[in-house]
């Protein structure tokens, strides 16, 4: 971040009586609130683990033991929340979610679904007769617990939440058990058939139950294979000898709902009777119906009627028409498994049933990570209002996150856009549809025999494995030559924010022989930068199967629903529609074929959802907590004003000295002392290098200098004024720390003007032209920053720090990422700035660069000063010198005759000697008197040698 620190206007001096009165009023107003909400630690949570025996199955008479943990809040009775885990997980996977809900005052119940962990039974993929009935029996059990609030006999007040597999269970349970009072499913599916066998041309998401297109879908084999592998390996998670109660938890022995609360016998293995010994069962812990369905579709690539019926039965789409409870749908924008279209379908169906619906799209997903603490807090707020009637009404609006450019630290910027209602719901405004013209001739795309090699659109789960790879994964897409048709737009003239599913109209024909089963194709929409960089938003692709293609080569037209994404297409970027015949994540056709693909309509229909930018952080808690915070802040502000006025005792004798540090120390809790008794002084016109190994205290010193943190002891004075947070003298300091954060679609000059406007200072005081001349950007300052090299960005950052011509400029590693020519240019920039009579402090680890750029250095080690002075004096501290002469032999003889001089060696026209304290000027005099012409004299050591000796780390 590049910024000028300070610029804070002087505050009026408060009168002592006013200060005292204000302190008393604020203290009295907040004391009661602080007392009522005292304690910074999370409320205590008690856990109770049990194996519950439940009566489940189609006739509710089949016993199954489920491994559960009950999380009890500090105060009971309280409403309960069921917390379901994702596929392949156990109750331990949702421990954090359940504990946080208990800390918010809910009774939370987590359990391992049948077939996972230590729970018995076989995996039915949320079968209504098994997993869903299991959850309903857990509601029965909660109704018998004294810690849970009841709405009636056998009717606990209960919500349900879960991610992915657990999210679908939330929906299915709400549709089948009216006792559920609110739900918050996360990154889940609406129709498992459409999710695993999508057909964006035949049946867009939201198709009513019983759609005829399931058998025509294109099999998403990579994700389906991951699912099946997790299920077949689930048996290995079972531990038949483990106790039912987790260590350190309380088991009161109450089973409830047929529960026994006792350990599983050591000779019984969970898993519905499947033996852990002997031949390995290829079905693992799946039911026979699920195993048969996967085997059928994996071998053939298409789903038969039995498979379609099974997937529909275990999907929320089968019950959404019966869900009327308040529903908060959270879906990820980085999700190649369950895309935004799945939540879209659920929102429409549940809203049509009469339920209040809130929809949130966030930047994670199966490829991008679970919801963060802020979003988890929003989910807790949802339950707070709908289960307890507390807090503000979260409403039924729509929020989506817009991920922008990377910040200097590598994390993307994210903003939240809010709309009054989710588009497309009854009575809500729909998304605007904007047309983008595409160009491109008819093209032939070939499907190779066996569908191999295949194009790549995504690597399932990549974003959840590698930090930050949700952005990286969008760059790994590969479309093989000859296998794809491309259609591109003109560059955008302004930013276009896509929010939803874009549609395109295509014309497809067989290039020979026809295709009676239709063509399997894969469509995707790229964001293409001015430099040709192609990014596939969300790594998302739409699979489609066309109607049968006639053998005579005549074309059919299809409307393609591209993946729903949130993506800002910046000015000068283009969009590119690519239609491929293969995709590694899907089962492509094994038959060799060729297709002619063209645009039936040149216009893409792009959804734009108008909204207002809102904070990404939800309210922190009830209004009483906000009042406490405001009261404390007010108290801190008043006290800060008093401290600042008392602290800023200017020293007139130092009014012309840029920087004086005296006895500076900074200690942290735990005994860590980052800086200890540091003292040094910097004069006008100096370029001072702050050196030290990692952990020496350099960054801590700079942060104290800029008023970002307060020292534990000692003082920092800038032009005689003591530094503290908000000190007016900070406006005389410019800083460049941790890289530059510029808006890439603006020119360099526009970035500088926007930054200066944000300071609120007069334009005439910016000195734009002078700063740009010193930075040496030339005409490039009128170009967009996205076109800049790293060196140009660094120079623009220096120019930004120079705005207003601060008298003291503080730079942290300004040459990071620069090549040697760029480092040389940066060196000249700093020298030219210091030549104007101003002062530069540079923290760097490039010792050779500091030696050439700085005239003074301060060397720190373990928080302490070990040396300070001119570079030449520090380097010459060892007494070694080098002379370039016209007669090396005569020079060596002359130096050897001087008392104390030793280690005299000759190297061509160079003579090296250890002067042992003798000034170099005296040695030059000796050489001249001996008739030797001296062309150059200097220290023999490098700054690196002196540095290593000073910090005690020489070899």
pLDDT of 540 reads 86
Range 375-403 average pLDDT: 89
pLDDT of 279 reads 53
Q: Are 162 and 186 in contact (CB under 8 A)?
A: yes
Of the listed ranges 28-42, 447-461, 495-509, 562-576, the one predicted with least confidence: 28-42
432-610 carries CATH number 3.30.70.120: no
> What is the per-residue pLDDT across 700-756, written as a single tens digit (0 to 9) for each?
888 888 888 889 999 999 999 998 877 888 888 888 765 567 888 888 898 888 888
Which pair of structure tokens corresponds to residue 135?
A: 């959850």
Q: What is the spatial distance between Cα 522 and Cα 582, in angstroms, rounded to a whole number?
A: 7
In this structure, the number of other CB atoms found within 10 A of the CB of residue 614 comes to 13
Of the listed ranges 209-213, 378-382, 815-819, the one predicted with least confidence: 209-213
**Spatial CA neighbour of 79 closest among 159, 195, 21:** 159
Q: What is the spatial distance between Cα 217 and Cα 191, in angstroms, rounded to a whole number?
A: 12
pLDDT of 616 reads 43
Q: Domain residue spans in the chain? A: 46-194+202-264+280-415, 432-610, 650-872, 879-950
Q: What is the spatial distance between Cα 952 and Cα 955, in angstroms, rounded to a whole number?
A: 9
**Whether the bond into 734 is cis, omega within 30 of 0:** no
> What is the per-residue pLDDT across 80-106, written as a single tens digit (0 to 9) for each?
999 999 998 999 999 999 999 999 999
Which pair of structure tokens corresponds to residue 653?
A: 């004798």
Q: Are 384 and 104 in contact (CB under 8 A)?
A: yes
Mean pLDDT computed over every residue of the chain: 79
Residue 792 in this model has a pLDDT that exceeds 80: yes
Phi, psi (5° rounding) for residue 586? -120, 165
For the 650-872 domain, the top CATH level (class) is alpha beta
Q: What is the spatial distance between Cα 55 and Cα 268, in angstroms, rounded to a whole number?
A: 18
The topology under which CATH files domain 46-194+202-264+280-415 is Rossmann fold (3.40.50)
Q: How many helices (H) and strands (E) does the chain have?
A: 23, 38
Phi, psi (5° rounding) for residue 710? -100, 140
Q: What is the spatial distance between Cα 79 and Cα 151, in angstroms, rounded to a whole number?
A: 10
Indicate whether this model's pTM tops 0.75. no
Rounded to the nearest 10 degrees, what angle do helices 748-759 and 768-775 cross at?
130
Q: Which CATH architecture does the domain made up of 879-950 adopt?
A: 2-Layer Sandwich (3.30)
Q: What is the spatial distance between Cα 180 and Cα 323, in angstroms, rounded to a whole number?
A: 10
pLDDT of 738 reads 56
Q: What is the spatial distance between Cα 70 and Cα 744, in angstroms, rounded to a whole number?
A: 50
Q: Are 607 and 424 in contact (CB under 8 A)?
A: no
582-596 burial, b at 16+ Cβ within 10 Å, e below that, comes to bbbbbbbbeeebbbb
Q: What is the spatial distance between Cα 455 and Cα 526, in angstroms, rounded to a whole number?
A: 14
Q: What is the spatial distance between Cα 100 and Cα 96, in angstroms, rounded to a whole number?
A: 6
**Spatial CA neighbour of 307 closest among 469, 193, 152:** 193
pLDDT of 13 reads 43
pLDDT of 98 reads 96
Q: Do 650-872 and 879-950 show the same overall fold?
A: no
* 3 state SS of 141: helix
> What is the per-residue pLDDT across 800-853, written as a single tens digit (0 to 9) for each?
888 888 889 888 777 766 667 767 777 787 888 888 888 999 887 666 677 778
* DSSP-assigned states of every residue in 434-489: EEEE-B---EEEEE-GGG-S--B---TTHHHHSTTHHHHGGG--B--TTSEEEEEP
Residue 509's alpha-carbon distances to 293, 521, 586, in angstroms, are 32, 12, 22
In this structure, the number of other CB atoms found within 10 A of the CB of residue 778 comes to 10
Of the listed ranges 119-128, 625-634, 796-805, 899-908, the one predicted with least confidence: 625-634
Rounded to the nearest 10 degrees, what angle do helices 288-300 and 305-313 cross at?
130
């Amino acid at each position: 971040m590049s910024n000028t620190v300070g610029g804070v206007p002087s505050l009026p001096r408060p009168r002592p009586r006013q200060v005292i009165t204000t302190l008393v009023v604020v203290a009295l107003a907040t004391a009661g609130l602080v007392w009522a909400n005292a304690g910074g630690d999370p409320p205590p949570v008690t856990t109770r683990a049990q194996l519950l025996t439940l009566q489940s199955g189609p006739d509710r008479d089949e016993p199954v033991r489920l491994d559960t943990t009950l999380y009890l809040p500090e105060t009971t009775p309280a409403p309960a929340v069921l917390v379901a885990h994702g596929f392949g997980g156990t109750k331990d996977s949702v421990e954090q979610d359940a504990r946080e809900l208990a800390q918010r005052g809910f009774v939370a119940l987590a359990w391992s679904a049948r077939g996972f962990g230590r729970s018995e039974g076989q995996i039915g993929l949320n079968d209504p007769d098994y997993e869903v009935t299991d959850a309903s029996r857990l509601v029965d059990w909660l109704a018998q617990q004294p810690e849970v609030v009841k709405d009636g006999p056998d009717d606990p007040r209960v919500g349900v939440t879960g991610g992915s597999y657990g999210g679908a269970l939330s929906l299915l349970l709400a549709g089948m058990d009216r006792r559920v009072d609110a739900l918050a499913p996360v990154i889940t599916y609406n129709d498992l058939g459409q999710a695993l066998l999508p057909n964006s041309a035949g049946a867009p998401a939201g198709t009513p139950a019983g759609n005829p297109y399931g058998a025509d879908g294109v099999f998403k084999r990579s994700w389906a294979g991951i699912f099946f592998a997790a299920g077949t390996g689930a048996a290995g998670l079972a531990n038949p000898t483990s106790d039912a109660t987790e260590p350190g938890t309380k088991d009161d022995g109450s089973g409830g709902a047929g529960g026994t609360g006792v350990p599983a016998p050591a000779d019984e293995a969970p898993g519905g009777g499947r033996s852990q010994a002997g031949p390995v069962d290829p079905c693992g812990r799946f039911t026979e119906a699920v195993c048969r369905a996967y085997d059928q579709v994996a071998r053939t690539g298409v789903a038969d009627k039995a498979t379609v019926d099974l997937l529909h039965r275990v999907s929320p789409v089968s019950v959404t028409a019966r869900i009327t409870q308040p529903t908060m749908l959270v879906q990820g924008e980085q999700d190649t498994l369950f895309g935004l279209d799945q939540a879209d379908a659920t929102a429409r169906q549940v809203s049509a049933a009469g339920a209040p619906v809130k929809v949130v799209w966030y930047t994670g997903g199966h490829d991008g990570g679970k919801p963060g603490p802020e979003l988890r807090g929003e989910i807790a707020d949802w339950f707070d209002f709908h289960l307890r009637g507390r807090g503000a009404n979260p409403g039924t609006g729509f929020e989506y996150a817009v991920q922008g450019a990377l910040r200097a630290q590598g994390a993307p910027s994210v903003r939240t856009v809010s709309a009054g209602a989710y588009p497309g719901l009854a009575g809500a405004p729909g998304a605007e549809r904007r047309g983008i013209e595409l160009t491109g001739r008819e093209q032939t795309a070939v499907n190779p025999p066996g569908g191999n090699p295949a194009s790549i659109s995504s690597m399932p789960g990549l974003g959840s494995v590698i930090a930050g790879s949700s952005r990286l994964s969008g760059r790994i897409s590969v479309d093989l030559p000859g296998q794809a048709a491309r259609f591109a737009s003109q560059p955008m003239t302004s930013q276009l924010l896509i929010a939803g599913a874009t549609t395109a109209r295509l014309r497809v024909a067989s290039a020979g022989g026809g295709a009676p089963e239709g063509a399997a194709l894969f469509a995707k929409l790229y964001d293409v930068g001015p430099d040709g960089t192609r990014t596939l938003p969300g790594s998302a692709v739409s699979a489609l199967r066309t109607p049968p293609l006639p053998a005579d080569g005549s074309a059919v037209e299809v409307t393609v629903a591209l993946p729903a994404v949130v993506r800002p297409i910046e000015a000068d970027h283009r969009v590119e529609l690519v239609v491929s015949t293969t995709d590694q994540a899907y089962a492509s056709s094994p038959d060799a074929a060729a297709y002619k693909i063209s645009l039936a309509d040149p216009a893409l229909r792009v959804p734009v959802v108008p909204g207002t930018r809102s904070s990404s952080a939800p309210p922190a808690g009830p209004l009483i907590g906000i009042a406490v915070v405001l009261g404390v802040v007010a108290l801190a502000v008043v006290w800060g004003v008093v401290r600042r006025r008392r602290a800023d005792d200017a020293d007139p004798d130092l009014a012309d000295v840029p920087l004086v540090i005296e006895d500076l120390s900074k200690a942290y809790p735990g005994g860590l002392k980052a800086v200890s008794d540091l003292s040094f002084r910097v004069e006008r016109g100096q370029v001072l290098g702050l050196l030290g190994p990692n952990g020496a205290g350099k960054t801590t010193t700079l942060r104290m200098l800029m008023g970002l943190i307060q020292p534990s002891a000692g003082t920092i004075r800038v032009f005689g004024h003591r530094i503290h947070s908000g000190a007016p003298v900070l406006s005389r300091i410019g800083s460049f720390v941790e890289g530059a954060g510029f808006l890439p679609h603006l020119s360099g000059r526009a970035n500088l003007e926007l930054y200066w406007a944000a300071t609120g200072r007069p334009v005439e005081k910016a000195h734009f032209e002078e700063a740009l001349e010193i930075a040496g950007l030339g005409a490039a300052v009128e170009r967009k920053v996205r076109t800049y090299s790293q060196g140009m960005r660094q120079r623009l950052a220096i120019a930004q720090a120079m705005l207003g011509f601060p008298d003291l400029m503080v730079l942290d590693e300004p040459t990071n990422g620069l090549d040697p020519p760029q480092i040389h240019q940066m060196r000249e920039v700093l020298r030219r700035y210091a030549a104007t009579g101003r002062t530069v402090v540079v923290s760097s680890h490039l010792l050779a660069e500091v030696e050439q750029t700085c005239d003074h250095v301060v060397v720190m080690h373990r928080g302490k000063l070990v040396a300070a002075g001119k570079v030449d004096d520090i380097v010459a501290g060892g007494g070694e010198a080098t002379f370039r002469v016209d007669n090396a032999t005569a020079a060596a003889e002359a130096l050897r005759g001087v008392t104390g001089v030793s280690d005299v060696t000759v190297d061509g026209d160079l003579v090296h000697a250890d002067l042992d304290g003798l000034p170099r000027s005296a040695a030059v005099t000796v050489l001249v008197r001996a008739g030797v012409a001296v062309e150059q004299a200097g220290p023999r050591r490098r700054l690196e040698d002196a540095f290593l000796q000073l910090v005690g780390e020489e070899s």
